[in-house]
Amino acid sequence: MTTITPKGGIALSKRKLSSPTTLLGPVPSALVSCGRAGGEKNIITLAWVGVVNSSPPMASISIRPSRHSHGIIKETGEFVINIPTADQVLVADRCGTVSGKKVDKFRQFNLTAIQGTLEHAPLIEECPLNLECRVRQTILLGSHEMFLGQVEQVYLSGQLLNGRGRIGAHPEWLGYLGGQYFSVKSLGLSLGYSLK
């Protein structure tokens, strides 16, 4: 590690890491579900998930081509981003350490697949927030291929909805940063609260 010393000569409290990494977060540790004709369904845990556009609403996921889910999503052009709560960390870790090549993760981890509006990719009922996405573009970046998906429908557990059909309550969400899991809580402050 190198200490950064600015021109004035005062040592900052910052230290530079030995190499650049994707140490950005906490990001959601999402359970991404997919499926193909014939009934096969799968789940992959992904931390490389992001919001990339507002209108139309779009999200990205990045997957190594060696993953079983990669082939399914490439073939069908559909995926669902299911956001788990912190108390679902065990299932997120399990879905991210075994492959659908060998295991039916829905059955093995007692998860319920429900059909939304996509033809092949089911929602995971146990996750309170689900975004159905259709692939619009893919970019092979290096280790991972990024799928840019247009969010076609969003589902939220009823107890989290407010009277205006929007998210009104927050559980502790599952986050991920630097190889560690986090519990991400709401501060109960809304955007613009500082202006009031």
- Shortest Å distance, C-beta 148 to ligand FMN: 15
The token pair at 187 is 């501060």
Task: Compute how many other C-beta atoms are within 10 angstroms of the C-beta atom of residue 157.
Answer: 16
Residue 88: CB minimum distance to ligand FMN, A: 12
> Minimal distance in Å, beta carbon 188 to ligand FMN?
27
Residue nearest to ligand FMN (CB): 96
Dihedral over alpha carbons 177, 179, 183, 186 (to 10 degrees): 10
Binding site for ligand FMN (CB under 6 A): 29, 42, 44-48, 62-64, 67-69, 93, 96-101, 144, 176
Least separation in angstroms between CB 195 and ligand FMN: 36
93 versus 126: smaller Cβ distance to ligand FMN? 93
Q: Of the two residues 8 and 20, which places its CB atom closer to ligand FMN in the complex?
A: 20
